[in-house]
Structure 1
Amino acid sequence: MHDTISNQLEQDGYAVIEDFLRPAECDELVAAGIELTKNISDTDQKTTFSTKEGERRQIQDKYFLESNDKISYFYEVDAVGPDGKLTVDPTVSLNKVGHALHLLHPIFRCYTYSDRVKAVCHQLGFKEPAVVQSMYIYKNPGLGGEVTAHQDATYLYTEPIPPIGFWIALEDATIQNGCLWMARGSHKSGVHRRLIRNPDKDPAVIFDRPEAVYPQSSFTPVPVSKGTCILLHGNLVHKSAHNRSEKSRHAYTFHIVEKLNNQYSPDNWLQEGKDAPFLNIYTTQQSM
């Protein structure tokens, strides 16, 4: 398995591990994700999340920038009206919840620091792997927004060793409900763009270059079954389409970085803090 996933990551920029979680384990995580929607209050500020260039207001939002040590809620653009009120049922209104589920939520923490994750990190040769952020992604039917082509290293830049994403399908991910599309081999072309903290402070973060344009022919869909984990090289260009189907596509994802002889950029929007330490996967307990 070591050679298989290492070779896949080196060659393609991603590796698929089937049956990473059992169906009952996926169901437990989905139940936890649905339970999070019950904490929604109609009186709270609704911060939307979108990766489209004209809809990225949330990256300037204090709520987003201070979410490193919290469980924060981000809504679909189409789920919030001009008055800030929800236009849909709360259970299908969310785009994602992040970015400290792995630290603060007992169920997500249990799976993030599991022996299976530790084993993959060992197989990939990590010496001091640490989780820096986590997200529960809903991709709800009819509402789940498009995720435009991007590299994770744009947001979580490290050098010389790139971050690795763990993307776990908690339900079947199909072309119809918004599976990932990969630009195979694109990780070999470097980091095309970075989101950095603005030294002038206003706005708080900025992109250092214009958005890259990628031809549709570069991408291959990667539909996977429930319980599959996809490992993503930080430099891999990937995306997903709007979910126009009648089925949701829930997923849990988190990113790890190597801490030994590796620099996590101080310019990244998300930074380690007293209440959000980048904990070593090998030595961190699953229980809180």
Structure 2
Amino acid sequence: MALSASQIEQFESDGYLVVEQYYTPEEVDKLKKEMAWILEGSMDQLCSMSGVFNAEVEDGKQNSDKYFLESGDKVRFFYEDVKEPPPRSFTGRRLSREKAPLNKVGHALHWHSTAFKRASLQHEKTKELLRSLGFVRPCICQSMYIFKRAKVGGAVRPHTDGTFLMTTGNLLGLWTPLENATIENGCLWFEPGSHRTREITSFFERTTDESSGETVMKLRHTQPPPSEEELNLVPVEMKAGDLVLIHKAVLHKSERNASDKPRDAFTFHVTETYNTQWSKLNWLQNQASPGSFSMLYDDSKLHKETK
């Protein structure tokens, strides 16, 4: 599914683009069933511990959690940051949708799960789409199944993806809701054009805590970020199976899910690896092979020949 010239123009102007009916209802259903299978314990060997994730605050518990910081090449579970979180250890079979307030599962579903791999790493439409945007050697650096459960799913404060994933090259988020995403259940909000009018001024960086000597993730501001009152965010409602492309510098957020309807989503990030550098300060690193990620295709030889 190569993008048309008008779609590319809109993406470059707004910093995001919705592609309707990108995944078929059958593909959406497979992803939901795959996650249900994972939660029932068929992949217990990959998820023997749990963590907590909070996207509403800068100093969430994940910032110093080794379980989170070493999840770049694994499948791991993260609960909502609630007052009484579930026990730290569990068996996968205890993770039912009704009993566990999960926030997300990440960050290498595209590698460990056949269904999620087919929907990302092996998806031919995605390869065509990326070629139309000029990607030469794109790799998936992370993938997540995000839960926005009815009455439970927390908000995600306004941010840019480039704050969390630092690279000298292109970075693209691909996000699809697996249920209809509405204002009521926590759809995404964007500030159109903010990737052109604002700079990325905040960076989550790996560093060593002076008191403990342990690796932690800290937020560094090169200048104060804008307050939410200064932003001109607009809601982007989507149907299940639609896809939104997200520029690394466009500001976006989602509100809490105060409705009685869930808003699960599957998302992954693609980074250009041709003539670019993945920052060693990123929290996200492939523990097995630092600096390397799952490649979708390699057009570097063709790129050289046509230059």
Alignment TM-score > 0.5, same fold: yes
CA deviation vs aligned residue, 1:129-171 (integer Å, no higher than 9, x gap): 1100000011111111111111111110111x33100001111
What secondary structure does 2:202 align onto? coil
Contact kept, 8 Å, 2:150 with 2:185, in 1: the verdict is yes
Q: Would the alpha carbon gap of residues 126 and 153 (structure 1) be closer, same or farther in structure 2, given more than 3 Å must change?
A: same
* 2: CA distance, partners of 1:79 / 1:25: 36
Is 2:40 aligned against 1:26? Answer: no
* 1: CA distance, partners of 2:261 / 2:83: 17
Contact kept, 8 Å, 2:56 with 2:154, in 1: the verdict is no
Q: Would the alpha carbon gap of residues 262 and 49 (structure 1) be closer, same or farther in structure 2, given more than 3 Å must change?
A: same
Q: Which has the larger radius of gyration?
A: 2
How far does residue 116 in structure 1 lie from its aligned partner after superposition? 0.8
Q: Would the alpha carbon gap of residues 82 and 171 (structure 1) be closer, same or farther in structure 2, given more than 3 Å must change?
A: closer
Aligned to 1:163: 171
* 1: CA distance, partners of 2:29 / 2:230: 34
How far does residue 213 in structure 1 lie from its aligned partner after superposition? 2.0
Is 2:284 aligned against 1:282? Answer: no
Aligned to 2:278: 264
1:48 to 43, 48, 52: 52
Is 2:75 aligned against 1:61? Answer: no
Q: 1:220-235 residue pairs with structure 2 within 5 A?
A: 220-235=234-249
How far does residue 78 in structure 1 lie from its aligned partner after superposition? 2.9
Is 2:75 aligned against 1:71? Answer: yes
Aligned to 2:301: none
What is the TM-score of this pair, normalised by structure 2? 0.84
Aligned to 1:183: 191
How far does residue 57 in structure 1 lie from its aligned partner after superposition? 0.9
* 2: CA distance, partners of 1:207 / 1:166: 24
Aligned to 1:7: 9
Q: Would the alpha carbon gap of residues 81 and 252 (structure 1) be closer, same or farther in structure 2, given more than 3 Å must change?
A: closer
Contact kept, 8 Å, 1:153 with 1:162, in 2: the verdict is no
* 2: CA distance, partners of 1:252 / 1:144: 15
What secondary structure does 1:194 align onto? strand
* 2: CA distance, partners of 1:61 / 1:274: 19
How far does residue 69 in structure 1 lie from its aligned partner after superposition? 1.3
> Which amino acid in the other structure matches residue 178 of structure 2?
L
1:122 to 123, 128, 131: 131
Q: Would the alpha carbon gap of residues 63 and 9 (structure 1) be closer, same or farther in structure 2, given more than 3 Å must change?
A: same
CA deviation vs aligned residue, 1:16-39 (integer Å, no higher than 9, x gap): 100100111101111112222223
Q: Would the alpha carbon gap of residues 46 and 163 (structure 1) be closer, same or farther in structure 2, given more than 3 Å must change?
A: same
- How large is the RMSD of aligned CA atoms in angstroms? 2.5
What is the TM-score of this pair, normalised by structure 1? 0.89
Q: Would the alpha carbon gap of residues 81 and 268 (structure 1) be closer, same or farther in structure 2, given more than 3 Å must change?
A: closer
Note the residue ranges of structure 2 that are not aligned, 5 or more in a row. 299-307
1:238 to 252, 262, 265: 252
Contact kept, 8 Å, 1:5 with 1:15, in 2: the verdict is yes
Contact kept, 8 Å, 1:127 with 1:258, in 2: the verdict is yes
Contact kept, 8 Å, 1:78 with 1:143, in 2: the verdict is no
1:91 to 94, 97, 100: 97
* 2: CA distance, partners of 1:79 / 1:94: 14
Q: How many residues matched?
A: 280
Aligned to 1:250: 264
Q: Would the alpha carbon gap of residues 275 and 73 (structure 1) be closer, same or farther in structure 2, given more than 3 Å must change?
A: farther
Note the residue ranges of structure 1 that are not aligned, 5 or more in a row. 284-288
> Which amino acid in the other structure matches residue 36 of structure 1?
I
How far does residue 82 in structure 1 lie from its aligned partner after superposition? 8.0
Q: Would the alpha carbon gap of residues 128 and 72 (structure 1) be closer, same or farther in structure 2, given more than 3 Å must change?
A: same
